[in-house]
Structure 1
Amino acid sequence: MSYKIELTSKESEILNGIELDQSALDRVQCQRQAPLVLELLESLEGRKAIPKVRLMYWMEPKYQIGGVKTSHKGLFERNGRKDDEIYTHPNFLKYLRYFLFGAQLPEGAVAEFEEAVGNPEWISSGDIPHLTKGTRAIVRKFGLQNEDEEFYRLALDIGLSQSFAKYVRDAVKQVK
């Protein structure tokens, strides 16, 4: 299953002018693409194209795990950014990438994880040991030991509850 959101032709055109890899940008390039980022976000927001769970991941403190008591957006605000400054900051690009494409994991790992989950509506707390064991096996097979946040994002996109997605993330962190 693809977690990439459908873009209009105009949005695709805008995206072609945006470099999502922060490390490939210098200050001038970042400033040059800032209006494009804002235009793309405005279009996506206008047609409610960004999945709700991805917006919750961005805006809700409980989706920020790891001891921080604010949302991902809140971290930008805490660092003195507000309004458009948040969305034009180079560090926002990784969130924009997630909004557009979902978790950045190999297709094979995604397919195996989807298979391990099955129908997310049927997952209960009794399934967690089996799910986390399967997740660790996928992580080892594909060498994804440092991708706990991406598995967390994938679990959310698949439809697991936020608390079950945390178990998935923790399972990935356990793999050495």
Structure 2
Amino acid sequence: MTQSPFTIDLTSEENDFVNAIQFDPRNTLGDTKSFHANGDLVIRLTESLLKRKAIPTQRLNFFSDPDYHVAGRGSSRQELFMRKVRSHEEMVRHGHFLKYLHYFIYGAKLPAPAIQAFKAAVDDCGAITSGDIAPLETVARHLVRANHLAPKEVADEFYKLCLDLDLDPSDAACIRSAVLQLPR
């Protein structure tokens, strides 16, 4: 996996798990043995990360706090997920959980130049105020166009990046909305 500036530190055992996990759930479709083996690794890695509190709070909140789920209508992503499965273990084994695990480890899934440029723009603001949001929205929209990204696919990634850059969820939601307003 490619490192990002926001990749969390992993133990050597966790790193071994990461290297063995198929993060694309399509890679284990139709192969029950591979699916179960991958699920076992995902569970062991997730348990290890949670046990040592290695996942940044804002990333856990993105998954488990309704206030961090802009389109959630009062429900967190985890609550919505749990409505479709029978147990926490089944949720973690599920192929759709892999995108959350990837985020827990690496942060937002954006091109490195976009991450660096947006981080620089946020850093230039110093302490973020309401007057900084409109210029940051402009920067985010510019980066989407300059990197030929699909707005609908990267809006949540900008939201996640904003959280990692210590913007509050409502300011991050404004950036997300600005990206979504771009035409395809």
Is the pair's TM-score, using the shorter chain for normalization, greater than 0.5? yes
State the match for 1:50 in structure 2.
55
Q: Distance in 1 between matches of 2:16 and 2:82?
A: 30
Equivalent position to 1:164, from 163, 171, 179: 171
With normalisation by structure 2, the TM-score equals 0.90
Post-superposition, which runs of at least 4 consecutive aligned residues in structure 1 deviate over 6 A? none
**Cα distance 1:120–1:55, how it changes in 2: closer, same or farther (>3 A)?**
farther
Deviations 1:29-87 (A, max 9, x none): 22221111111111111111000100011100111122532111111111233221110
Pairing 1:109–2:99 present: no
Matches within 5 A, 1:125-144: 125-144=130-149
Q: TM-score, normalised by structure 1?
A: 0.94
Alignment coverage as a number of residue pairs: 176
The change in CA–CA distance for 1:170 and 1:157 in structure 2 (over 3 A counts) is: same
2:74 is matched with 69
Contact 1:19/1:25 (8 A) holds in 2: yes
| % identical aligned pairs | 39
Could you tell me how far 1:158 is from its partner in structure 2?
A: 1.0
**SS across alignment from 1:30:** helix
Gapped runs of 5+ residues in structure 2?
none
Distance in 1, matches of 2:36 and 2:18, equals: 15
Gaps of 5+ in 1: none
The answer to whether the 8 Å contact 1:121/1:160 transfers is no
Task: Describe the shift of the 1:85–1:121 C-alpha distance in structure 2 as closer, same or farther (beyond 3 A).
Answer: farther
Cα distance, 1:120 vs structure 2: 6.8
Q: Deviations over 1:139-158 (max 9, x none)?
A: 11111223101111111011
User: For 1:26-105, what aligned pairs fall within 5 Å after superposition?
Assistant: 26-27=29-30, 28=32, 29-105=34-110
Whole-angstrom CA distance in 1 between matches of 2:94 and 2:86:
9
Query: In structure 2, how many angstroms separate the alpha carbons of the residues matched to 1:62 and 1:83?
Result: 21
